[in-house]
Amino acid sequence: MIYPSRFQKERDALDASDLKVVVLIPCFNEAAAIGGVVRDFRKSLPEAEIYVYDNNSTDDTARVAAEAGAIVRFEPRQGKGHVVRRMFADVEADIFVMVDGDDTYDAGAARKMVDTMLHEGLDIVNGVRVPETGTAYRPGHAFGNKALSGLVRTIFGRGTTDMLSGYRVFSRRFVKSFPMMSRGFEIETELTIHALELQMPVGEVAGRFKDRAAGSESKLRSIQDGMRILGTIVRILRQERPLPVFGAAAALLALASLGLASPVVLEYLETGLVPRLPTAVLAASMMILAFLMGVAGLILDTVTRGRQEAKRMHYMAVPGVLSELGMRRPAPGVALEKT
């Protein structure tokens, strides 16, 4: 038996130098900012390899990133989701740091985020944005982020403070078990929900959120991307919580059916006649549909549970961060006591 206190000492003695760390930066027309981002992360995480994935930029993003010391690769399919999918598939590492290339996130927080993952045995650490100025985080974006974060917290019972943050640290277990479907900025929502769905250990670290560099423009389209993010949540809710969704629809149909049928039934009891036959047929049809919706919800809930179990088994098949560290070396000076 390994005593918990000894295991804690061993875990606290470990650091990222025992593991391969990479920084992944998706980019589209960020020539004005990407050089500074690469240099800042080289200082913050000198042991890390830095990859910049250029998503059809029309400026000098690729050249500036390469000159700053990054490994530059390309993804021709437009959209952040496509870029992240390509990065997760192509790059092999133990710890993945992902950050936007607009130089608004604090590279200095990366070390704390990585250490938090190691010391607490987490699969994802979310970078919570703390605006330096009132212009760094637009009010509409802040409201939308809080609303969506609250909605996800209500659906899944827990959540993150900043669900739409573009600054995160992932374990290899998370990255290689993530069945990504998104194409655009809704990728952040899908990342969060994947962690919540599988009950992964999740942490947060606050960091400065800066104004964009001069010459750098936001690619986020507030209304269009907000609707796509909301659509992603609705889709995932339908897929992962089918019983409440179909159950609610069945209940509404049943109530509407009863509302339509009540006068017809009362009149029939009084006179023995059914003067509003179309209304009676509509009410009966709605009740049948409500029953079918309820049955569909039960069937889909069973299918969802089976799929979640399969996803959980695939997730567990990938070694965790602490397992990787334990296989490589024991902590110096720590003797594990056994009985």
pLDDT higher than 70, residue 201? yes
Structure tokens, 278: 């179309």
**Tens-place pLDDT, residues 33-69:** 999 999 999 999 999 999 999 999 999 999 999 999 9
Nearest to 208 by CA among 146, 128, 145: 128
DSSP string of 53-65? EE-S-SSSHHHHH
Do 31 and 64 contact (CB within 8 A), yes or no? yes
Cα→Cα distances 196→46, 200, 236, 257, Å:
31, 6, 12, 37
Cα→Cα distances 102→98, 131, 187, Å:
12, 15, 17
Mean pLDDT of 185-199: 84
> In this predicted structure, which of 73-87, 103-117, 270-284 has the lowest mean pLDDT?
270-284
**Tens-place pLDDT, residues 228-254:** 767 767 777 787 788 988 999 999 999
Nearest to 19 by CA among 327, 316, 333, 317: 327
What CATH topology corresponds to 4-240? Spore Coat Polysaccharide Biosynthesis Protein SpsA; Chain A (3.90.550)
Radius of gyration of the chain (CA): 25
pLDDT higher than 70, residue 146? yes
Q: Where are the alpha helices (DSSP H) in the chain?
A: 4-13, 34-44, 61-68, 80-90, 110-120, 139-156, 172-175, 187-197, 222-240, 242-271, 277-317, 321-328
